[in-house]
A and B are shown apart, each in its own frame.
Chain A
Amino acid sequence: MKLYCLSGHPTLPCNVLKFKSTTIMLDCGLDMTSTLNFLPLPLVQSPRLSNLPGWSLKDGNAFLDKELKECSGHVFVDSVPEFCLPETELIDLSTVDVILISNYHCMMALPYITEHTGFTGTVYATEPTVQIGRLLMEELVNFIERVPKAQSASLWKNKDIQRLLPSPLKDAVEVSTWRRCYTMQEVNSALSKIQLVGYSQKIELFGAVQVTPLSSGYALGSSNWIIQSHYEKVSYVSGSSLLTTHPQPMDQASLKNSDVLVLTGLTQIPTANPDGMVGEFCSNLALTVRNGGNVLVPCYPSGVIYDLLECLYQYIDSAGLSSVPLYFISPVANSSLEFSQIFAEWLCHNKQSKVYLPEPPFPHAELIQTNKLKHYPSIHGDFSNDFRQPCVVFTGHPSLRFGDVVHFMELWGKSSLNTVIFTEPDFSYLEALAPYQPLAMKCIYCPIDTRLNFIQVSKLLKEVQPLHVVCPEQYTQPPPAQSHRMDLMIDCQPPAMSYRRAEVLALPFKRRYEKIEIMPEPPPRPAQPTSGKKRKRVSDDVPDCKVLKPLLSGSIPVEQFVQTLEKHGFSDIKVEDTAKGHIVLLQEAETLIQIEEDSTHIICDNDEMLRVRLRDLVLKFLQKF
């Protein structure tokens, strides 16, 4: 059993597990940090961005100045942003039988895999994962397609040229495999290959393997997966949370007794406490608005935003901010808000019981009803009429490279009254801000990552006790920036096996059993050929030594044995003691029986009747196995 590791990103995994002759892809995350190397795509023509100076080599050679632009000492690619795909060469992806998706963030590379590798299998995911995943993809495609960019830079990707570029471009990996965003058509085709599953549903794959999604507590419909045969069990843990936010709590008990536990998707900010961050978010937001400034929250259209809106719902009245408008701008804002209300069965208990009343589970329904929260597909259209300042704007994309957020960065960046608050942990906020420098607006970093931290992981591992842990190499050493923090790594026994991009791991399985079915009665023996008058040839009777006789165990008490012999008509019995046991002599029959603790030896004449009689008497004292 092998694990092929196609992604180096620990929270956007893509692994392929070969297990009992099935090939199972675990997640297909899309590494979007590659887009940080590109210039933002402005919705409205931005003179600042279009007038950035071209970059030239130290020796003054400016042949790359069309492709590369410089901004505050950083160099950016002036082109349609591109994404870093999972490895496609390590294993023939057309042989993948099924893809298991754990949450909507970990399926963003799906169209690349299902549409361009000859994949013919099935994808399994929960209904909220598919619906919200569709929204994320729709938003992404919309963001990129509505700002058509003529330029597509490729010169810089040349290996010899890339060497000459400044960091981080110089160190970017696999740039030749970076791809542009997929189309909506590819998204629809990819999503049509998904089969919906529910938590704790047992799905049989080819009769050899059973896969089961379990609640992972991280997002609506997020799952961990159990992959098992009758005697082997792999747990795939990806993006799990033990905090009580809106999703159903994590199912830990079902992860017990795993041979191998593959652990991915831990928190990206192990030192930040999500609750504290939410508090900071609220107070910074209040401070800015009170001073007449605007607040920009770059975010995904689903997930943490529901929790933030719920916090604000409770917070704004007490903070005297009820008149400040909240705007949520995304092509899928409306869908996201509506979808969140219909997945009662996937929510935590508290929210579920609200549905039973029946009331909408999330309070943003009330924010919308009372006009405190308004949502728009984009900054164009109705929004420009309704727009009032100061305000709070939730919009994407958190990379600050595309989406309506680019416009607000350009619009509000110059004033120190305004604040941008980073809550999504996927992108380094300093890198995200780089193309907007110099910047007057305040930048607050409140990353909210509810996924497991290392303390929770070690508790979890103690609880579920897997025989082996497999994880990305990043988790087996402290973060590079905090190399003294030995607590910020996985600590387990035996030590976790680590993987990196493009590696193949042999999983340490010890198969001991296989399943068969037994029948209450033995099958009828094949009928013996009835011997006719014709004389049988000797060789017809040659016994089949494949028929196994049982093993024997026990010991023979000499006195009782002798009594039994006498009872069965043997006389003239003599017993002699030896060093290890006894010898029973049947003088009349010229037979000698050696009895020791663990063996019996019958030595007699070639008299089958006698031998069989003695054998049966001996067997009376022994157990058969």
Chain B
Amino acid sequence: MPEIRVTPLGAGQDVGRSCILVSIAGKNVMLDCGMHMGFNDDRRFPDFSYITQNGRLTDFLDCVIISHFHLDHCGALPYFSEMVGYDGPIYMTHPTQAICPILLEDYRKIAVDKKGEANFFTSQMIKDCMKKVVAVHLHQTVQVDDELEIKAYYAGHVLGAAMFQIKVGSESVVYTGDYNMTPDRHLGAAWIDKCRPNLLITESTYATTIRDSKRCRERDFLKKVHETVERGGKVLIPVFALGRAQELCILLETFWERMNLKVPIYFSTGLTEKANHYYKLFIPWTNQKIRKTFVQRNMFEFKHIKAFDRAFADNPGPMVVFATPGMLHAGQSLQIFRKWAGNEKNMGTVGHKILSGQRKLEMEGRQVLEVKMQVEYMSFSAHADAKGIMQLVGQAEPESVLLVHGEAKKMEFLKQKIEQELRVNCYMPANGETVTLPTSPSIPVGISLGLLKREMAQGLLPEAKKPRLLHGTLIMKDSNFRLVSSEQALKELGLAEHQLRFTCRVHLHDTRKEQETALRVYSHLKSVLKDHCVQHLPDGSVTVESVLLQAAAPSEDPGTKVLLVSWTYQDEELGSFLTSLLKKGLPQAPS
């Protein structure tokens, strides 16, 4: 029985290190190749030895697909392709291809230069890895090989994020990557057509949340920022350079303009200006409003937001600073945090320990930092919530759903919801666990028009979706299946037909003349075989379709007539029926 097999190497009942193996109709595809933020050892990358212990991965994988540029989806790529060894194609969208190497380089720098890790991938490896990338357009059908095709759908989430359909013949799997179902200030909503895949693999980050409306969160955010700067405080917003940062910038920019505020907004240097450039050049990937108005006003050319200089942090007076990285664990955001944390007038967002209420932090060198500033946690990350996930499942109409990229408990809740409300099987394998789904693929063949017409001549019009029996010869050549009539098959194969014919001697008790016997046989058959073509030929013989009945030379016994019934193998049923019918004798003629 054909089947689809799915094994998460990462993101199975977990967030981070997304990496899912899919086997479909003999093809093996790896979906995403991410790193785990929570680990600094071997566990930060997926365990590729699951695919093969020795030998190159190229022999075991037909292709790799990267859904978007977040490191938990692509961070292990150079390690995978250059250090473990993979030379096959890696598919991603154009914006992802543009931005991914920059984030990888950034990640490498922090790991090697700041943390001093050895045996990490190098800049050259990132470059070599990116050479294996094939960029795809939205909705383009990419033929990976003769049988395997993939297609990208818009996913929202971040610039260039895509969902992918993987298809072989009539079997298909859709992988959502990360997505959001509501448009935000800079990106549109995910969309997929009713493609009815066998399996939909969806993220489930917000499996249990029905999130409050985005407008409320935005208003809340603006209000808090505004209050802080009004009382002369400084606002630190730790962000990742690409993604939410642009959304928040647009939010603040429009707010500043509307309120006519003069308080400076800074963006920490480096990646970010560059990042805004990408958004400007990839306008077709943003939301409808930005696309429509970009000629008059490119939303990513900010008037109020300026590049940040280290010295600005000590400036007196209020300011708002976007600084990287978003987790506040290193780099500029941490430096600024240290400077500002002591003042209760200031406000900052995020940071695990601070969020959990801890007010005294131990920094390097045993220094203790007392946090007096206000700390707010605001999530703007763009994932679909439970409602959105259900909505996408409804759009695509899959046979089954498989959850990844979420916490086990929350998945359990969503799994039940999907199974109950949508009546669709739902799976949530852990890392290394395999889900197997049997499939029943259709086998498309070309039927020769001659054969089809012969079928139709029998008055049976083909009906969609209703199976029926027909006789023909299947010719398979170069993975091309053709169904032709037996005659045509013999002809194409250069074979002659062998005719098998039967002739039976049937003895009839009849004293009349041969001609009269023939006539009696004729009328008898005619009365029994109403639907058949029964003919009495001038030479005295009788035919039923192509079965021939002839009176034989007169036998010695004048009371017995011998009838020769002759038919071909193809008419066997009829011939056999006729002989057994005649064996019973002829009905008494009404005299």
A interface residues with partner B (beta carbon < 8 Å): 127, 197-202, 212, 230-231, 334-335, 338-339, 341-345, 352, 355-356, 358-361, 511-520, 522-523, 525, 538-539, 541-556, 597-608, 611, 615, 618-619, 622-623, 625
Contact = CB atoms under 8 A, between A and B. Distances in A.
A344 B278 CA distance: 11
A267 to B, nearest CB: 28
B142 A200 contact: yes
B499 A598 contact: yes
A201 B483 CA distance: 29
A453 B471 CA distance: 52
B574 A543 contact: yes
A360 B281 contact: yes
Contacts of B569: 549, 552, 615
Contacts of B120: none
Q: Which of B151, B298, B486, B489 has the largest count of A CB atoms less than 10 A from its CB?
A: B486
Contacts of B360: none
B137 A551 contact: no
B515 interface: no
Contact of A334 (B295, B462, B497, B506): B295
Contact of A512 (B449, B471, B573): B449
A545 B499 contact: no
Interface of B: 94, 97-98, 135, 137-142, 151, 274, 277-278, 280-284, 294-295, 298, 442-449, 452, 458, 462, 467-469, 471, 473-474, 481-483, 486-487, 489-490, 495-507, 528-532, 545, 565, 569-574, 576-577, 579-583
Nearest to B450: A512
A516 B577 contact: no
A360 B506 CA distance: 94
B502 A615 contact: yes
Given A514-B452, A622-B500, A198 B139 contact: yes
B284 A200 contact: no
Given A513-B448, A545-B545, A599-B499, A539 B281 contact: no
Contact of B281 (A342, A545, A611): A342
A550 B176 CA distance: 50
Nearest to B101: A356
Nearest to A345: B94
Contacts of A547: 471, 573
A556 B462 CA distance: 39
Contact of A555 (B97, B442, B467, B498): B498
Nearest to B170: A517
A552 B499 contact: yes
B137 A198 contact: yes
Q: Which of B278, B295, B529, B532 has the largest count of A CB atoms less than 10 A from its CB?
A: B295
A547 B446 CA distance: 21
A597 B498 CA distance: 8
Contacts of B532: 542, 545
Nearest to A605: B505
Contacts of A625: 473, 486, 489-490, 495
Contacts of B142: 200
Nearest to B547: A545
Contacts of A619: 500
Contacts of A515: 444-447
B498 A599 contact: yes
Contacts of B497: 551-553, 598
A299 to B, nearest CB: 20
A622 B498 contact: yes
Contacts of A554: 495, 498
Contact of B529 (A345, A356, A512, A542): A542
7 contacts: A200-B142, A342-B284, A355-B98, A360-B281, A542-B532, A549-B571, A618-B500
A541 B447 contact: no
Contact of A611 (B447, B449, B452, B504): B504
Contacts of B570: 548-549, 551
Nearest to B572: A549
A554 B94 CA distance: 60
B531 A551 contact: no
Q: Which of B97, B579, B582 has the largest count of A CB atoms less than 10 A from its CB?
A: B579
A615 B500 contact: yes
Nearest to B500: A600
B445 A516 contact: yes
A226 to B, nearest CB: 11
B573 A545 contact: yes
A511 B449 contact: yes
Contacts of A615: 500, 502, 569, 572
Contacts of A604: 502-505
Contacts of B138: 198
Contact of B498 (A201, A230, A516, A552): A552
A548 B471 CA distance: 6
Given A200-B137, A549-B569, A603-B503, A343 B530 contact: no
